[in-house]
Amino acid sequence: MQIVNVLLDSTQYGYESLADRFIKKWQLPFDPYKDKDSIGFIIDGRVIGCSYVPYPIVENDLFNSARENVLWPEAESCVTKHRAHLKVTMTREGDPVTAHILFTKFVSCLLQQRTVTGIYLRPGLLEPSYYIRCAEELVRKKLPTELWVHINSINFDKEEGFSFYTTGMSKFGKKEFEITETKKNFIDAYYLLKELVKHTLENNKDIKNGDTIGADENRTSLTVSKGVKVKGTSVKINI
């Protein structure tokens, strides 16, 4: 089951124009069942539901994600000020990539109201405009993998080196990625990992121990071994 929470800065939200936005943007059939506080529909056997919850989320993980969000400086303010939220779920998913595409299309339309202030995809917290921009990749037949796989950073201000690990690759039957205690440039390492996630999912790659990535003159080796920060085995990027 997929679950995301859309944070609202007031206790006002409506579904009146949601169906029209969804049909116009994505040219998909939309025959919702709805009442005052919820809406749902079925497409290709997949069930998407959205419920209005008239109080904020109080979770330590949400506040920690906001404080540690290096891509969105206003995240902590967003979390502190939100007053209600929408809980969005999908069941009967089937193929994970196809299911994530449909779910992303729906959520991107859901975010286009002025009371929306953030989107919480455990363990990640994203700015709504960022989510909407990334969803536009679907128009170009690309996958917005940055919305599906969260990249966690650890000790990025420590002299001994920082680490990254992903959360979400397992939803697609893939191993999580890790970069451990590298002293490479933080941004360069982040975008290397981001591009490897995208390449793996777009091409349905199954990475094996000893595989390499990069240009011929500057190959980077990959090691499959027991995870450091993730359960089971992970793919280590040796930089």
- Asked if residue 154 lies in contact with residue 190, where contact means CB atoms within 8 angstroms, the answer is no
For residue range 185-210, what is the model confidence (pLDDT) as tens digits?
Answer: 888 999 999 999 999 999 999 999 99
pLDDT of residue 160 exceeding 80, the answer is no
Pairing assessment for the beta strands 162-167 and 150-154 based on DSSP bridges:
antiparallel
Q: Is the peptide bond before 29 cis (omega within 30 degrees of 0)?
A: no
Other C-beta atoms lying within 10 Å of the C-beta of residue 209: 12
DSSP summary character for residue 158: -
For residue range 125-144, what is the model confidence (pLDDT) as tens digits?
Answer: 999 999 999 999 999 999 99
**pLDDT of amino acid 28:** 85
Other C-beta atoms lying within 10 Å of the C-beta of residue 169: 22
For helices 96-110 and 18-26, the axis angle rounded to 10 degrees is 130
User: How many whole angstroms separate alpha carbon 131 and alpha carbon 126?
Assistant: 7
Q: Which burial class, exposed, middle or buried, applies to 120 when counting CB atoms under 10 A from its CB (0-12, 13-18, 19+)?
A: buried
For 69, the 3-state DSSP assignment is coil
**pLDDT of amino acid 156:** 60
User: How many whole angstroms separate alpha carbon 157 and alpha carbon 155?
Assistant: 5
User: How many whole angstroms separate alpha carbon 26 and alpha carbon 136?
Assistant: 10
- Single pTM value for the model: 0.90
* Domain limits, the chain: 2-147, 150-237
**pLDDT of amino acid 68:** 82
Other C-beta atoms lying within 10 Å of the C-beta of residue 103: 21
CA 232 distance to own-chain centroid: 21
Per-residue pLDDT, averaged over 41-61, amounts to 92
Per-residue pLDDT, averaged over 155-165, amounts to 77
Other C-beta atoms lying within 10 Å of the C-beta of residue 235: 24
The pair phi, psi for residue 164, each rounded to 5°, is -130, 150
User: How many whole angstroms separate alpha carbon 37 and alpha carbon 19?
Assistant: 15
| Average pLDDT of every residue of the chain | 91
Q: Which amino acid is at 65?
A: S
pLDDT of residue 158 exceeding 70, the answer is no
User: How many whole angstroms separate alpha carbon 223 and alpha carbon 184?
Assistant: 18
Q: Which stretch of 57-71, 78-92, 105-119 has the lowest confidence by average pLDDT?
A: 57-71
Q: Indicate the pLDDT class of residue 181, thresholds 50, 70 and 90.
A: confident
User: How many whole angstroms separate alpha carbon 100 and alpha carbon 147?
Assistant: 9
